[in-house]
Every structure is written in structure tokens, then in C-alpha cells.
Amino acid sequence: MNNNELQRLTENLAIKYFGVPFKHKAYFNQRLRTTGGRYLLKSHNIEINPKQLKHFGEDAIVQIVKHELCHYFLHLAGKGYQHRDTDFKDLSAKVGAPRFCNPTETYESRANYKYQCVSCKANYLRIKRVNTQIMRCGHCGGKLKLVKVFEK
């Protein structure tokens, strides 16, 4: 699926589930990491994480687009478009849009460093390097030592 196909899919889903045309742009954004998609308040465009398509297929993209369209139409109507708003919850339930998407990466897969407490042997995975002179064990307050650096 490319950006043109995603645009057509978004336009079709807007008509099918909301009965209103989608008049802005929908496209894939390679830089998205922790989210399936996002609705941009200023431009009213929708960005989709292409990793969702790669990992979970077109059905996942359909669900994410429906979720983002809920944000889109509620924002344009001046209603509550945030996740916590009743308007958003009601519309999401009505069209069958999911609250969350499946994660493509876990924290463990992104971790670059493994630390271990010298006293209680508790393990800590971290993406960024930590200063072992300052940081202490959260369980017992003992010193941490670098055990492993993961090569990526």
C-alpha cells in the first residue's frame, strides 16, 4: 500500500462509517515509532505508521484510520476529540474504532544496555546509558554495574 491507496482508503472509510467526506491528506510517516497513527490539529492531516502495515496487515491500518477519523471529525465539529472525552468514546464505540493499536516494538527489543544491582542482583534494561555513579537500585539502593551492551 502506498500513500495514494491510503488516501483512497481513508476517503472510503470516512464515507462508509461517518457519512462525511474526508477533505485532507492521509499518508505514511516513517518517523512514527510508538503510535499507530496521529491526527494533526493544525493541518487536519492524518499520519499512519507504516510498521503497522508491515507487522499486522491492512486490517490494522483500517482500524487505525477509523480511530484517527474519530479525532478528525470531532475536532472539526468542535466537540471533544481527545481520548478522555465522552464524545470521542461514544463515536469510537459507534464505528468500532479501537482505543489502542498493537505495538510493533517492545521496550525490551529497543533496550541497548543491561544493568544489574551489585547487592540484590535486580536487572534493569535501559535504552540510554545511565551514570552508575549517580543512579541506584530502585529496590535496595545498591550500586548498579553495566552487565551487557546489546549490539544493534
Tell me the DSSP string of 39-95. Answer: E-TTT--EEE-HHHHHHH-HHHHHHHHHHHHHHHHHHHHTS--STTSHHHHHHHHHH
* Catalytically annotated residue among 11, 68, 108, 151: 68
Q: Is 71 annotated as a binding residue?
A: yes
Q: Is 68 a catalytic residue?
A: yes
Q: Is 67 annotated as a binding residue?
A: yes
Which residue reads 477509523 in cell numbers? 66
Q: Residues with catalytic annotation?
A: 68
Residues contributing to the annotated binding site for Zn(2+)? 67, 71
Binding positions are 67, 71
